[in-house]
């Protein structure tokens, strides 16, 4: 017994000494942010403004990463579950072999990695190495950029504490915790048990602002006779209220400049102008002076929109009656001017090629134009995705070969949309949800599968909540619960 106590005492002293050594080379929170600057520059959502899918993935992953970094800095925090993250990176350099990597349709590199580290320095290094970013600048922070290697050279063996140490002291064995976390997947019930109370607290706190947001939106839509007010990004309730207050002040100060907005949709986004879909875009970083100019230019935008619609009709005639559409959820955010140039270039190319399409032979079919593709394809929803640089002869052959499949996909899409709406309504009613919605990157098929499985469960935790179907678990700042569409139970 005495020998065992002496062994445990020695292990305790060893651990204290090791912690002192490690402490000398840990980063502060501010240092970590500075060290991650190249990473933030490579994945920042603002640089993906024209690519909504990639932008959304990066926004969500950054939220989870920030939560991981915050937990690392909490005093006495010992238990940390492995966190898998995916980012779209603007660089296209080759990546390390231990990181899953693929490319999106827009050409950005998708990098997936799992964080299992327990200190800021190791976490920063793992993130930078996973994204193939340099770690040389960390040396200027007066810390060792290779903590794992130095530990090996100092102790000359992997640190593995004797099990008696944990039994005697009551501390948790980090290796055992990590193994358990890797073996056991997060389940919906367990996650709701752990996070339900936090979500309820945040939701209650946000209720006054939510009511204020609804009031402001209703009053502005009614006063300006707007069709709708939307937000391109998932800003918090307080941020949205601030934007509506800003618009309301402009209405009071310059009511004459907003006389041409009747029937239109206003979208708060990253830049001002008119979108390809015909919506009025108000940049959230712009001042009233910039917004005023946009409202004054509306008559000119409307004229350009008529020319754009004419171009779409002309392209449709040249392609046998196929309808040219623009889908906000799937296509890059383009201004009206950018989209017009794309259409005009494609129209001139088609007109010169004189493709022999029979008039109205493709009526009922749909297509979208994309500038970041090189080969035509058919979407699961039935619309053709046509590159602006596509060879006319190859385009003709592809449309003829896929026309019947496209019609079947369009019919299936209509049926799927009806099923999806019915399941959303049924789920909302069964669980007494205040709101059930999905992120744009979640397909109808995924939403249908998710709702069907939810309806088989008894989930009293969801009563009165806002539930978002996503790709990960998270509690948003205003209390919305995010769960992955393929949740496990």
**What's the 3-state SS for 221-267?**
HHHHCCCEEEECCCCCHHHHHHHHHHHHHHHHHCHHHHCCCCCCEEE
Once rounded to an integer, what is the mean pLDDT over residues 269-294?
A: 90
Per-residue pLDDT at 37 exceeds 90? no
| pLDDT computed for residue 184 by the predictor | 55
Mean pLDDT of the region 38-46? 79
What are the C-alpha distances in Å from 119 to residues 109, 122, 241, 403? 27, 6, 38, 56
pLDDT score of 11 more than 50 = no
* Mean per-residue pLDDT, 288-297: 92
Look at residue 94 and tell me whether its pLDDT is greater than 80: no
151: left (phi over 0), alpha (psi -120 to 50) or beta: alpha
The model's pLDDT over 226-280, given as tens digits with 9 standing for 90+, comes to: 999 999 877 789 989 999 999 999 999 999 999 999 999 999 988 899 999 999 9
Answer whether 313's CB lies under 8 Å from 322's CB.
no
Confidence of residue 68 (pLDDT cuts 50, 70, 90): confident
- Give 287 or 382, the one with higher predicted confidence: 382
pLDDT tier for residue 367 given thresholds of 50, 70 and 90: very high
Residues 282 and 353 in one domain: yes
Asked whether 84 and 116 are in contact (CB, 8 A), the reply is no
- Regarding whether 196 and 60 lie in a shared domain, the answer is no
Residue 347's SS3 state is: helix
Distance between CA atoms of 173 and 442, rounded to whole angstroms?
38
Residues 6+ apart with CB under 8 A from 368: 324, 325, 326, 327, 330, 331, 383, 384, 385, 386
Same domain (yes/no): 266, 344: yes
Q: 263 and 128, same structural domain?
A: no
Asked if 107 and 202 sit in the same domain, the reply is no
Please write the tens of the pLDDT for every residue from 409-443: 999 999 999 999 999 999 999 999 999 999 887 88
Which of 2-16, 207-221, 447-461 has the lowest average pLDDT? Answer: 2-16
pLDDT class for 38, splitting at 50, 70, 90? confident
Give the mean pLDDT of 187-194.
90
Token code pair at residue 283: 């940049």
Q: Does 345 reside within a domain?
A: yes
**What is the rounded distance in angstroms from the CA atom of residue 476 to the CA atom of residue 387?**
37
- Per-residue pLDDT at 46: 66
Determine the Cα–Cα distance for residues 175 and 469; give it in Å rounded to an integer. 33
Tell me the pLDDT of the chain averaged across its residues.
Answer: 81
Where residue 353 falls among pLDDT bands split at 50, 70, 90?
confident
The backbone region for 275, taken as left when phi is positive above 0, alpha when psi lies in -120 to 50, beta otherwise, is: beta
**Residue 478 three-state SS:** coil
Sign of CA dihedral 388, 392, 393, 398: positive
What pLDDT is recorded for position 77?
Answer: 57
Number of structural domains found in the chain = 2
Q: Residue 6: its pLDDT value, please?
A: 47
Nearest to 21 by CA among 116, 159, 132: 159
294 band by pLDDT with thresholds 50, 70 and 90 = very high
Q: Which of 151, 149, 139, 147 is nearest to 31 (CA)?
A: 139
Distances (CA, A) of 144 to 20, 54, 68, 125, 133: 14, 34, 22, 11, 17
pLDDT tens per residue across span 133-162: 877 777 666 555 444 443 333 333 445 566
Q: For residue 33, is pLDDT > 50?
A: yes
In a domain, 71, yes or no: yes
pLDDT of residue 378: 92
Token pair recorded at residue 209:
């602002």
Band of pLDDT at residue 29, cut at 50, 70 and 90 = confident
Per-state percent for the chain, helix, strand, coil, to nearest 5: 55, 15, 35
CA–chain centroid gap for 29, Å, is: 25
Highest average pLDDT, of 104-108, 149-153, 220-224, 366-370, comes from 220-224
Residue 3: predicted pLDDT:
47
Structure tokens given for 462: 């969801």
Q: Tell me what the mean pLDDT of segment 13-17 comes to.
A: 44
Domain boundary among 395, 414, 433: 414
Task: Indicate the pLDDT class of residue 25, thresholds 50, 70 and 90.
Answer: very low
Shared domain check, 215 and 112: no
Over residues 195-235, the pLDDT tens digits come to: 999 999 999 999 999 999 999 999 999 999 999 999 987 77
Q: Is 483 helix (H, G, I), strand (E, B) or coil?
A: strand
The pLDDT value given to residue 161: 60
pLDDT band at 175 (very low <50, low <70, confident <90, very high): low
Residue 159 lies in a domain: no
Quick one: CA dihedral 19, 25, 28, 33, positive or negative?
A: negative
Residues 112 and 219 in one domain: no
> Mean pLDDT over residues 97-101, rounded?
43
- Find the mean pLDDT for residues 317-322: 91
Closest CA to 5 of 161, 165, 173, 160: 165
- Does residue 213 sit in the same domain as residue 121? no
In a domain, 232, yes or no: yes
In-domain check, residue 441: no
Q: How far apart are CA 462 and CA 196, in angstroms?
A: 8
Q: Is residue 377 part of a domain?
A: yes
Measured distance CA(112)–CA(84) in Å, rounded: 7
- Check: CB of residue 470 under 8 Å from CB of residue 439: yes
Question: Whole-angstrom Cα distance, residue 214 to residue 219?
Answer: 9
Average pLDDT over residues 371-391: 86
Of the two residues 318 and 58, the one the predictor is more confident about is 318
The whole domain housing 311 covers 190-414
CA-to-CA distance for 372 and 392, rounded, in angstroms?
17
Q: Are residues 122 and 234 in the same domain?
A: no
Residue 131 and residue 195 in one domain: no
**Same domain as 195, residue 76:** no
Q: Is residue 432 part of a domain?
A: no
* Boundary residue ending a domain (356, 381, 414): 414
Q: How far is CA 466 from CA 300, 366, 420, 462, in A?
A: 41, 34, 18, 8
If one compares 207 and 96, the residue with the highest pLDDT of the two is 207
Task: Choose one of 414, 445, 480: the last residue of a domain.
Answer: 414
Least confident span in 57-66, 196-205, 299-308: 57-66
Contact 11, 161 (CB under 8 A): yes
- Find the mean pLDDT for residues 50-78: 74
User: What single DSSP character describes residue 40?
Assistant: H
Contact in structure between 86 and 38 (CB atoms under 8 Å) = no
Same structural domain, 239 and 337: yes
pLDDT above 70 coverage of the chain, percent:
79
Assigned domain for 353 exists: yes
């Amino acid at each position: 017994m005495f020998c065992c106590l002496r062994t445990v005492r020695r292990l305790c002293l060893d651990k204290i000494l090791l912690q002192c050594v490690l402490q000398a080379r840990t980063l502060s929170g501010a240092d970590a942010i500075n060290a991650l600057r190249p990473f933030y520059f490579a994945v920042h959502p603002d640089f993906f403004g024209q690519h909504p899918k990639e932008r959304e993935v990066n926004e969500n992953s950054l939220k989870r990463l920030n939560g991981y970094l915050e937990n690392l800095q909490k005093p006495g925090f010992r238990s940390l579950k492995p966190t898998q993250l995916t980012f779209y990176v603007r660089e296209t350099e080759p990546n390390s072999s231990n990181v899953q990597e693929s490319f999106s349709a827009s050409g950005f590199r998708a990098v997936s990695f799992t964080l299992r580290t327990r200190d800021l320095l190791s976490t920063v290094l793992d993130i930078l190495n996973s994204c193939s970013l340099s770690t040389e600048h960390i040396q200027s922070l007066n810390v060792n950029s290779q903590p794992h290697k130095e530990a090996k050279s100092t102790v000359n063996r992997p640190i593995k504490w004797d099990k008696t140490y944990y039994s005697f002291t009551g501390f948790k064995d980090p290796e055992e915790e990590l193994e358990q976390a890797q073996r056991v997947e997060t389940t919906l019930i367990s996650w709701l048990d752990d996070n339900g109370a936090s979500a309820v607290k945040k939701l209650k706190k946000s209720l006054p602002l939510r009511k204020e947001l609804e009031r402001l939106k209703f009053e502005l839509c009614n006063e300006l006779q707007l069709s709708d007010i939307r937000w391109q990004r998932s800003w918090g309730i307080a941020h949205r209220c601030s934007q509506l207050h800003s618009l309301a002040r402009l209405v009071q100060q310059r009511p004459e400049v907003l006389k041409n907005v009747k029937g239109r949709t206003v979208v708060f986004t990253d830049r001002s102008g008119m979108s390809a879909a015909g919506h009025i875009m108000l940049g959230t970083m712009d001042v009233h002076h910039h917004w005023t100019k946009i409202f004054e230019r509306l008559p000119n935008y409307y004229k350009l929109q008529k020319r754009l619609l004419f171009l779409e009709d002309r392209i449709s005639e040249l392609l046998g009656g196929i309808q040219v559409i623009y889908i906000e959820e799937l296509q890059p955010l383009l201004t009206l001017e950018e989209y017009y140039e794309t259409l005009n270039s494609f129209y001139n190319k088609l007109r010169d090629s004189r493709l022999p399409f029979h008039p109205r032979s493709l009526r009922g079919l749909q297509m979208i134009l994309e500038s970041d593709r090189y080969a035509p394809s058919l979407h699961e929803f039935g619309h053709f995705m046509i590159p602006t640089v596509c060879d006319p002869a190859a385009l003709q052959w592809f449309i003829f070969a896929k026309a019947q499949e496209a019609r079947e996909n369009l019919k299936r899409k209509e049926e799927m949309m009806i099923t999806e709406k019915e399941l959303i309504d049924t789920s909302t009613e069964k669980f007494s949800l205040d709101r059930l919605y999905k992120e744009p990157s979640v397909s109808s098929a995924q939403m249908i599968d998710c709702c069907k499985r939810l309806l088989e469960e008894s989930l009293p935790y969801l009563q009165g909540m806002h539930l978002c179907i996503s790709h990960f678990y998270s509690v948003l700042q205003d209390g919305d619960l995010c769960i992955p569409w393929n949740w496990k139970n």
